[in-house]
Structures are given as C-alpha cells and as structure tokens.
Structure 1
Amino acid sequence: MTRSPADEVMERLVRLFEAAREPERAVHAAAYMRNQFAFLGFPTPTQRALARSVVAGLPKPAEEDLRAVALACWDRDEREYQYFACDWLRANVRVPGPGFLGTARTLITTKPWWDTVDPLATRFVGGLVRRHPQLVADMDAWAGDDNVWLVRTALLHQLHYGTETDTDRLFGYCTRQAGHADFFVRKAIGWALRHYARTDPDAVRDYVAKNRGLLSPLSVREATKHL
C-alpha cells in the first residue's frame, strides 16, 4: 500500500521527536505552561532543526495533507507536536482554500492556550482570510463568540496586515470587546492596537483617546506603550 504524504510526515516526525526527548527540560517546560500540557523538552532551535529534517525532500503538501497532519499533531500529548503543526501551516498558508477555516477553528478551540492560538491567529488565519476575503464574515462572527480564543483570533488576525488593515473592523472589534472580562481578550485588544500604531500612530492615539472610558487599563497600557 502506498503511504500518503501525511503518513510520511507523521512517521518522520514521531521518530525524530521521540529520539530527541529531554525529560528534565520537559518538566520545566510543563511548569512554565502551568502544567497544562506534556512536553518532550527540547529547546526551540532543536525543534526547528528537527522540523526541517521532517519535511526535507518531501513534495509540497496538499490541503488534505495539512489537515491530516495538523489534526494528528493535536492528537499527540506533547506540545511540541502542536508547535510543529502551527509552523507547518504557516509555511504552507497559500495551499488551503477557505474551507480550511473550519479546521483552524478546531485547532484554536482544542487544547487552547496562547502559545498555539497566537501563531495560528496572526500567521495562519490572517493569511487565510487575506487570500479568501469572504472569510471576513467568519471573523465578524468570531469577534463576538463566547469562546475567548476565537475572540482573540479575530482581534489578532490582521496583526501583520499593515496598510491593508481594515481599520473599521480592527477598531470595531476592539470596541465590541472593550469590556470583556478575560485577560487574554483585553491583552489582545492592546496588542492589536499597539501593532497597528506602527502603521498609523495617529489613528490609534485618536481611537484610544475617544474610547479610554470603554477600554480596560490593560488594553490602554498595551496600546499606548510606544506612542
């Protein structure tokens, strides 16, 4: 039977990652993440080197390969597998069509924490929406969702758009969630505004001035850090 590209990736990934385990470092890594996840324990440079070895010589993945590998990585206990999936999706963001947003939603809402949600939001979902503008309607829905990680993703998906930022949506999402009780939403509001201030500091300064009574102190502090 012919092995699928996804099977080949996962076989290489598990073999190389398991061989690189560092149990003592894994304990510290897990503690840093509040013991929410297990870790293999190797450092980021090792992760990147191993990831390069995993995909070396393989053809460009198809959408179904990306989906299969990402979901398989999310089924693994150790967090490094999810990091691999985030990086691989980012590297191949031009491959999937708009229907892949459903898979991204699954990844964002499964085993969620900032370490996977943020790269998916800023580097993958953002790229997906940019390539498939019809997905902005989904971002509008996510911006008002009950799930804080979907809200955070909507707030951050334009982080690297620069002059292409839809400011009505950026400011509108911030206003919509200005009173949100969750730290990660309030922090995302400030981060999104602070990053856009690199492109248009006057617009951010004006927005914060007009909405200071709505925004949390954390959001204001983050937004104006470099203004």
Structure 2
Amino acid sequence: MLDRWARDPDLWLRRSALLALLGPLKEGGGDFARFSRYADPMLDETEFFVRKAIGWVLRETGKRRPEMVSEWLRARDDRVPGLVRREATKYLRW
C-alpha cells in the first residue's frame, strides 16, 4: 500500500507514505532504502508539506544514524531543496 501511496497524485498520501516509515527510522532501525526510494523522486516536489516530511524523516533518522543521512544528502546535493536541507541538518555536524 505504501508503494502506491508514494506515487499517488494526492500530496497527503505521498506525505503519509514517508511518515509511515518515521517511527522505526527514528529508533535507529527501519527501512532507509525504502524511504530513499520514496523520497528521491519527491525531492522535485513543490509541495511544502511533502518537502517538510522528507526533512523531518531525515532529521529524526540523523539523530541515530548521522553518517547515513549525511551521505544521502551529499549524494543528492544538487537536488535537495533548502527546506529539506535545513530540516535534515538541524542536528547534524554539516
């Protein structure tokens, strides 16, 4: 279901697909590869709430796995919107 939501035209379903992965990622586990598959194409989104969700998940994941989040951001440096970068790096040594 989440795979379908991540591609849905409804911004709230796309956002929900990202946030559904937050809990386990926040705790230091979860499926970061799946998050990446969802978030990567969404970096081109113009919707504030989708961008905010990407940054939120990255920020919380980075509290436990900062190297992984930093690496993800660096690999997409030319595509990461400012809002996503600000949220994601709030607690990282960037």
Give me the TM-score of the superposition, normalised by structure 1: 0.39
Contact 1:142 1:154 in 2 (8 A): yes
Q: Which has the higher contact order (CA 8 A, sep 6+)?
A: 2
Q: CA RMSD in A?
A: 1.0
Count of matched residue positions in the alignment of Structure 1 and Structure 2: 90
Task: Tell me which of 165, 175, 182 is aligned to 2:30.
Answer: 165
C-alpha separation in 1, matches of 2:51 and 2:87? 9
**Alignment partners' CA distance in 1, 2:16 and 2:8:** 11
Deviation, 1:171, is: 1.4
**Partner residue, 1:139:** 2
1:84 maps to which residue?
none
After TM superposition, the structure 1 = structure 2 runs for residues 49-88 of structure 1, keeping only pairs within 5 Å, are: none
Pick aligned residue for 1:182 from 40, 43, 47: 47
Paired residue secondary structure (2:56): helix
Unpaired segments of 5 or more residues in structure 2? none
Instruction: Please give the per-residue CA displacement for 1:123-180, whole angstroms capped at 9, x wherever unaligned.
Output: xxxxxxxxxxxxxxx1111111100000110111121102331011111211020010
**2:64 match: secondary structure:** coil
TM-score normalized by the length of structure 2:
0.90
Paired with 2:3 and 2:28, the residues of 1 have a C-alpha distance of 20
Distance 1:198 1:160 in 2: 13
Counterpart mapping for 1:86-97 below 5 A: none
1:193 and 1:204 in contact (8 A); partners too: yes
For 2:63, the equivalent position in structure 1 comes to 198
Identity of aligned residues (%): 38
Which structure would you say has the larger Rg?
1
Whether the 8 Å contact between 1:190 and 1:222 is mirrored in structure 2 is yes
